[in-house]
Structure 1
Amino acid sequence: MLALTLYGLLVVYLLVICGRCTAKFAAEKGRSRGVWFVLGALFFPLPSIALALLPSRAQAQP
């Protein structure tokens, strides 16, 4: 039971790290941190790739 609890904590910790990394990158691009945190935690590499392809908010608005 202890091993299962530790494994669950490790998975949650990794999800938070992945979400925080994606949210930080989204903030640099001028996007919302909260939405990208959730997307980054759930589907880690894909939101980061999508953010890299999207233009920043400053470039998108004249």
Structure 2
Amino acid sequence: MNRSELSELSDKSFDVIVVGAGINGAGAAQQLVSDGYRVLIIDKGDFAGGATSKSSRILHCGLRHLA
């Protein structure tokens, strides 16, 4: 996300900010959105780019990370 895209967020409001876009963050964000919350999900890298991608560099279900 570049600065101009980031500045577009300044006049929006969110109920929840989820930090981390791995399997847990994405799952939490999805549940919150389905419950009617306005959610911003942020990550220092790409979505599913950390532990979730380590099996074969492909997004997988990540069930072992949910415990």
State the TM-score bracket (shorter-chain normalisation): under 0.3
Q: TM-score, normalised by structure 2?
A: 0.24
Higher helix share goes to which structure? 1
Larger Cα-atom Rg = 1
Q: TM-score, normalised by structure 1?
A: 0.25
